Amino acid sequence: MILDRLVTGRREFTAGRVFYEGDIADGPLVDRIFAEHPDIGAAIHCAALIVVPDSVADPVGYYRANVAGSLEFAAHLLRNGCGRLIFSSSAAIYRAGADLSVDEDSPVDPQSPYARTKAVCEAMFADIAASQPIRVLSLRYFNPVGADPKMRTGLQLARPTHALGKMITAHEKGVPFVITGTDWPTRDGTGLRDYVHVWDLAAAHVAALLRFDGLPGPAAVINLGTGTGTTVRELLTAFSQVVGRPVQAREAPRRPGDVAGAYSRIDRAERLLGWRPQYDLAEGIRHSLHWAALRAQVLPGE
Ligand SMILES: NC(=O)c1ccc[n+]([C@@H]2O[C@H](COP(=O)([O-])OP(=O)(O)OC[C@H]3O[C@@H](n4cnc5c(N)ncnc54)[C@H](O)[C@@H]3O)[C@@H](O)[C@H]2O)c1
């Protein structure tokens, strides 16, 4: 069952699924979904506003949508006897150590209102799970790339603003890709991320559902990354190899709000979920490129 307000999501992605259009905070609607589908065993909560600069400009709107909305949703789940919740959290809540790797015990120190809404929700759900008949698993995603390998879904944005999206745009337009920041404390001075294929993220959710009842404690957290960091220059090299010719780059200063980045140690995901990413970075790039070429056909009307 899908519940989505379609604030950024697209109706096309609900094809072939039972779909309710509405807000997670809408109690009567959530009650109706449970009444019509009494067999629902778990909720996967990925509804959120996710644009970091917007969260700086409109913190009230972000806390209302992400925190207040999630609190209402938790109450609706409890009222309907749903005892399993998987929450989409983020690597953005961590403060990375000197080697830029993090695990689930690394310090939490979110740097934007958006990231803080994720940390607040995690803590709020843990408080609720401590005494109420619901258990929660927060999955902390690193940097998703790629698309559905069968090309049914992918990023809905025509011009995504993350590094890979900008690389694809530069490649399509034949203009240089701009490397913002070359003086970070990384092996080549450019920002480092942990690019995890979105299909591997999806597979981790399936594994989490299958193993949910064996997870420790009322509230668990698991990182979903690849175990490897990739710098912007390394991403550019991988991208050039996939497209078969070098993509030109130009260097520019850091942008406000940028961070050096982090990558995840993934022992806990392996141990608790039996999950390891199956797709490598080249496949993530290839699937992102393929989706960028198909996107306008799958999502017409923009
Ligand atoms: N994209 C990333 O890099 C990333 C990284 C870490 C975590 N996450 C988390 O993963 C989740 C999904 O992110 P995404 O990148 O797919 O973003 P997205 O905008 O594509 O997906 C969010 C979905 O939630 C829906 N939605 C938003 N608010 C809603 C509400 N109040 N009620 C019902 N539906 C609502 C939107 O219409 C959309 O379909 C978010 O919780 C996000 O914080 C994303």
pLDDT (tens digit, 9 = 90+) per residue, 127-182? 999 999 999 999 999 999 999 999 999 999 888 889 999 999 999 999 999 999 99
Distance 263 CA to ligand 1 centre (A): 21
202 lines ligand 1 (CB under 6 A): no
Q: How many CA atoms lie within 13 A of 274 on its CB side?
A: 8
Beta strand 43-45 with 263-264 is unpaired
> Rounded to an integer, what distance in angstroms lies between the CA atom of residue 184 and that of residue 186?
5
Q: What is the number of the ligand 1 atom nearest to the C-alpha of 65?
A: 31
- For the question of whether the overall pTM of this predicted structure is more than 0.75, the answer is yes
Closest Cα to atom 11 of ligand 1: 46
> Rounded to an integer, what distance in angstroms lies between the CA atom of residue 88 and that of residue 222?
10
* Catalytic positions, written as ranges: 114
* Residue 300 pLDDT grade (very low, low, confident, very high; cuts 50, 70, 90): confident
153 lines ligand 1 (CB under 6 A): no
Q: Which residue has the tokens 């056909």?
A: 297
What's the whole-number average pLDDT of the chain? 96
Percent share of the chain, pLDDT over 90: 93
Closest Cα to atom 30 of ligand 1: 23
Q: Which backbone phi and psi does 113 adopt, to 5 degrees?
A: -55, -40
Query: Residue 64 carries which DSSP code?
Result: I
67 lines ligand 1 (CB under 6 A): no
46 lines ligand 1 (CB under 6 A): yes
